[in-house]
């Protein structure tokens, strides 16, 4: 029996994963990860090699938009464990029919939704309430020499953040604007 409902998002390979909880009088149980089910959705074997957790305190803060270039490009499964965020993925894949298009969705502890993000996508989120915690499962370890990023306020992408951006890290502010010749991520 599947513990996930998996939906397409309109961006090839990007999936919305809804976790199905088994409940009884004691509470609930939910599966956060199943390599078989998620590999079928991702179109490739997805075995986490790194798991990260973040806590963001300030409502309106944005983290992102981050990605890794090959050979360290990664599949990510992002889940919200506390609070609510607006989670965004941007297709940066060279030659993709949805190149430079974005998809955003609310993830929360209550809605039990996750975003399954394929290689070649940038990822970021905005905190919609104070103190939000996210859990990230990555198919590749963080490789600083292969990291990339785009500004969350990049005009060429025009993400419609639900709140004014209240806080950005120096790292996220330092990403150069995309140029007309941006070729994307070659996978």
Residues designated catalytic? 66, 136
**Sole residue written with tokens 């974005």:** 102
Rounded CA-CA distance 8/144 in Å is: 31
Rounded CA-CA distance 110/102 in Å is: 24
Rounded CA-CA distance 47/42 in Å is: 11
For 175, other C-beta atoms within 10 Å of its C-beta total 19
For 186, other C-beta atoms within 10 Å of its C-beta total 12
Identify whether the C-beta of residue 73 lies closer than 8 Å to the C-beta of residue 120: yes
R_g of the chain computed on alpha carbons: 16
Strand order from edge to edge, sheet including 113-117: 4-8, 15-19, 113-117, 76-82, 132-138, 50-56
Tell me the CA distances in angstroms from 17 to 32, 56, 85, 173, one per residue in order. 10, 22, 15, 30
């Amino acid at each position: 029996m599947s513990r996930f409902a998996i939906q397409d998002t309109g961006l090839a390979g990007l999936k919305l994963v809804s976790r199905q909880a088994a409940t009884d009088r004691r509470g609930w149980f939910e599966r956060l990860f199943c390599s078989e089910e998620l590999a079928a959705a991702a179109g490739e074997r997805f075995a986490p090699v790194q798991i990260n957790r973040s806590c963001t305190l300030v409502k309106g803060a944005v983290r992102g938009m981050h990605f890794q270039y090959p050979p360290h490009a990664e599949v990510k499964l992002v889940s919200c464990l506390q609070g609510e965020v607006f989670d965004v993925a941007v297709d940066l894949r060279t030659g993709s029919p949805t190149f430079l298009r974005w998809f955003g969705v609310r993830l929360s502890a209550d809605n039990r939704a996750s975003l399954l993000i394929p290689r070649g996508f940038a990822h970021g989120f905005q905190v919609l309430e104070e103190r939000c915690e996210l859990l990230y499962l990555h198919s590749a370890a963080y490789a600083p020499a292969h990291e990339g990023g785009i500004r969350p306020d990049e005009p060429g992408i025009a993400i419609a953040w639900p709140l004014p951006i209240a806080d950005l890290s120096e790292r996220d502010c330092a990403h150069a604007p995309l140029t007309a010749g941006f070729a994307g991520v070659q996978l």
